[in-house]
Amino acid sequence: MASSSESLYFSQREINELKTSYEQGGLSEFATQIVKKLNDIENVKLNIAVTGETGAGKSTFINAMRGLRGCDEGAAEIGNIETTMERTPYKHSTFPNVCFWDLPGFGSLKFPMKDYVSRMEFTTYDFFIIISNDRFTENDANVAKEIQNLEKKFYFVRSQLDKNFSSLKLQGIDFDRMTELEEMKQNISCGLTEVGISNPNIFLISSLNINEFDFPQLKETLVNNLNGIKKDVLLMSLPSTTVKIVEQKRAQLENRIWMLATVSGVVGAVPLPGLSFAVDLGILVTAIIDFRKSLGLDDASLQRLANVAKKPVEFLKAEVRTPLVGEINVEFVKRMLLRSSIVAVSVVEMALNKIPVIGSIFGAVSSFGMTYTLLTDVLDELVDNAQRVVKVAFATDPSHPQ
């Protein structure tokens, strides 16, 4: 049986069901269950609520999480007055199943607390971000308590730290940044504890500096506090702004490869001249395109990253040295298969421990071995390119010092 990290998409109950499917229905029934899980990955929806008082920086945060600037098409509207009068959905441009909901500022005459929870449909969100650009208030705590009653997770985000530190510098005040941050977080924690929020999750960020302060830790925490498929969809939607994010995506995508190879091993039915077996070309074409998109190497993602990093997009594209960013079609994949066919049988054993329950049944299935080998090589090549892009986009990567 695979380890917990290898069977990431499957609960123990589902692994037991896979075993039963194989024992009762054979390999075909087993593959049917894998296809269902792959469809679930494709269709799962993640709804994230972003709330806070007027002017806290909700819209800027939503844009940052989607890799957008305020001037970009599809960005959340930014203003110093309450620009959000209804809860407003902002879907991720590349992963539309991830949706951030910009909620109107609470506690005003237009949105009194007694009506806020029902009007904003709190039961529909997976988790909540509560944002403040100053101290957290009683209203913030009241919202948190309502979320807590629903047994959902919430995170306190203190935004606009860049403005705070710029103000101190302009006033000529000497300060140690780390000490200032620690004191700020301690004060916020004490304030929230006093109004009944124990062990609050607090992150200090600037939405304009996505690799600084607690922003990287916030994204990592949000991902780690989700399970299974929803963890996957959030991680893939995050802009690839650090080497660490790219590595996390690699690990997650590796967990898909054995599933795709399993399906190919069962349904592969396209004989290829020059090869002694059949393989499902459609699976490979779709997987390569999805991997590229997930790692931020498609044109739209590279442009958004260039905008945020304030670098010419051509500068980033110069670091992409692989034909995998070109057109991916059946003919392209056929050529790849013919070049790599000689190594398929020798590396098939590498994949056996990736399959929950039935491991060695694929030892003699060439289609499985070729799919697994090819997609592993593709992922490694795309990750190498994504890492180079990140390093030049952000000259100093805090998650991976050069």
CB burial of residue 378 (10 Å; 0-12, 13-18, 19+): buried
Alpha carbon 222 to chain centroid distance? 9
How far is the C-alpha of 78 from the C-alpha of 57, rounded, in Å? 8
- pLDDT tens digits, one per residue of 130-169: 999 888 888 888 899 999 989 999 999 999 888 777 676 6
Please calculate the CA angle 260-266-269 and round it to the nearest 5 degrees: 100
- pLDDT tens digits, one per residue of 203-225: 999 999 999 899 999 999 999 99
146 contacts: CB under 8 Å, gap ≥ 6: 117, 122
Report the pLDDT value the prediction gives residue 153, as an integer from 0 to 100.
96
Nearest to 48 by CA among 108, 86, 115, 103: 103
Q: pLDDT higher for 270 or 377? A: 377
Q: pLDDT higher for 362 or 363? A: 362
Indicate the average pLDDT of the chain. Answer: 84
Specify the long-range contacts of residues 114-117, CB closer than 8 Å, at least 24 apart. 116/143, 117/143, 117/146
pLDDT exceeds 50 at position 371: yes
Report the pLDDT value the prediction gives residue 181, as an integer from 0 to 100.
86
- pLDDT tens digits, one per residue of 290-326: 999 999 999 999 999 999 999 999 999 999 999 999 9
Do the bridges between strand 127-132 and strand 98-102 make them parallel or antiparallel, or are there none, so unpaired?
unpaired
Model confidence, pTM = 0.87
Hey, what are 34's tokens? 């894998």
Three-class SS state of 94: coil
The neighbour count for residue 205, using CB atoms within 10 Å, is: 25
pLDDT exceeds 80 at position 348: no
Extract the runs of DSSP E, i.e. beta strands, from 40-126: 46-52, 88-91, 98-102
- pLDDT tens digits, one per residue of 232-287: 999 999 999 999 999 999 999 998 998 898 888 776 545 555 555 567 888 999 99
pLDDT exceeds 80 at position 1: no
Extract the runs of DSSP E, i.e. beta strands, from 127-276: 127-132, 153-158, 202-204
Which residues make up the CATH 3.40.50.300 domain(s) of the chain? Answer: 46-226
Name the superfamily (CATH) of residues 46-226.
P-loop containing nucleotide triphosphate hydrolases (3.40.50.300)
Report the pLDDT value the prediction gives residue 308, as an integer from 0 to 100.
93
pLDDT exceeds 60 at position 176: yes
Residues 196/142, Cβ–Cβ less than 8 Å: no
pLDDT exceeds 50 at position 228: yes
Hey, what are 62's tokens? 């939503």
